[in-house]
């Protein structure tokens, strides 16, 4: 069965510092991976997705993620964070035809 | 830009009451979903809907829950007799449903309906 593990429930970083949010998946078949962001009191917004092709995927707001099949990981990175990046970040894997299975979420807190 | 809209944004109800949460998916999408997020927890799949029937449901989606597409635009989630543990944010989502297409698997979410059961 496909599942997703986000290793960190909370990640505090200083503004302009780099950040990496970790995500590992388990799947026995081809994977489609996603990162969604949830800003306070808002819905889920797609940051980026990996379907096939280049393992380095660039998304919105300066985020990128790298699909690593050997390590079954899809970590999210940003070289320099801003206060406005404070949010909950969810890694997800597609299961079946269309359903998404989400990880537990990582709360990113940016300190000035 | 097309978006998924949900109403109400927040509903407070008494335990045992029926609740209907409404969603208007993106117009050309074919798959519809309900997810929920209990406060502080992860987003959980409830049900998917395609071609006017449920295509998949989770163990959470018991007989108290039902979904309907009453017309060409709305997609509703009904909870027949609410329990305290139904308090959560409920997200509606839709997707194009074209496997292999450029938006394969991408779900577009609404902003959620917060349900508080007292």
State the pLDDT confidence band at A32, using cuts at 50, 70 and 90.
confident
CA A92, distance to chain mean position in Å, is: 8
Task: State pLDDT tens for residues B80-112.
Answer: 999 999 999 999 999 886 544 445 667 889 999
Residue of B42, B99, B105 lying closest to A103 (CB–CB): B42
Task: With beta carbons less than 8 A apart as the criterion, state whether A6 and A101 touch.
Answer: no
Beta-carbon contacts of A79 under 8 Å, excluding residues fewer than 6 positions away, are: A18, A62
Q: Chain B contacts of A90, Cβ < 8 Å?
A: 42-43
How far B41 CA lies from chain A's nearest CA (Å)?
7
Look at residue A28 in the predicted model and tell me its pLDDT.
65
Task: State pLDDT tens for residues B27-59.
Answer: 888 889 999 999 888 899 999 998 889 988 999
Residue of B48, B104, B110 lying closest to A32 (CB–CB): B104
Compute the average pLDDT of residues B53-72.
92
Of A36, A51, A33, A85, the residue nearest B109 (C-alpha): A36
Look at residue B64 in the predicted model and tell me its pLDDT.
95
Residue of A32, A43, A101 lying closest to B45 (CB–CB): A101
Task: State pLDDT tens for residues A44-87.
Answer: 899 999 988 889 999 999 999 999 999 999 999 999 999 999 99
DSSP string spanning A25-57?
Answer: EE-SS---EEEEEE-TT--EEEEEEE-SS-SEE
Query: What are the two backbone dihedrals, phi and then psi, of residue B84, each rounded to the nearest 5 degrees?
Result: -55, -40
**B58: nearest CA in chain A?**
A99
State the pLDDT confidence band at A96, using cuts at 50, 70 and 90.
low
Strands B5-7 and B19-24: antiparallel
Q: Where are the alpha helices (DSSP H) in chain B?
A: none
How far B71 CA lies from chain A's nearest CA (Å)?
23
Strands A106-111 and A10-14: parallel
pLDDT surpasses 70 at A98: no
Look at residue B28 in the predicted model and tell me its pLDDT.
86
Of the candidate ranges A16-20, A23-27, B88-92, the one whose mean pLDDT is the lowest? A23-27
Look at residue B100 in the predicted model and tell me its pLDDT.
47
Look at residue B103 in the predicted model and tell me its pLDDT.
56
């Amino acid at each position: 069965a496909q599942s997703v593990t986000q290793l960190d429930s909370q990640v505090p970083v200083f503004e302009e510092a780099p950040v990496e949010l970790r995500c590992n998946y388990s799947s026995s078949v081809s994977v489609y991976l996603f990162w969604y962001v949830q800003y306070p009191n808002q819905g889920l917004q797609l940051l980026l997705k990996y379907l096939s092709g280049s393992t380095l995927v660039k998304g919105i707001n300066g985020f990128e993620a790298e699909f690593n099949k050997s390590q079954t990981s899809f970590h999210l990175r940003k070289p320099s964070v801003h206060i406005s990046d404070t949010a909950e970040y969810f890694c997800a894997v597609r299961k079946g035809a269309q359903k998404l299975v989400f990880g537990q979420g990582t709360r990113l807190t940016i300190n000035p | 830009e097309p978006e998924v809209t949900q109403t109400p944004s927040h509903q407070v109800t008494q335990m045992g009451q029926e609740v209907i949460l409404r969603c208007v998916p993106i117009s050309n999408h074919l798959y519809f979903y309900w997810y929920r997020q209990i406060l502080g927890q992860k987003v959980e799949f409830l049900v998917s809907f395609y071609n006017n029937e449920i295509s998949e449901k989770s163990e959470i989606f018991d007989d108290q829950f039902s979904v309907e597409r009453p017309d060409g635009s709305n997609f509703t989630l009904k909870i027949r007799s609410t329990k305290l543990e139904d308090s959560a944010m409920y997200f509606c989502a839709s997707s194009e449903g074209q496997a292999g297409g450029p938006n394969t698997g991408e779900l577009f979410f609404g902003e959620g309906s917060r349900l508080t059961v007292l």
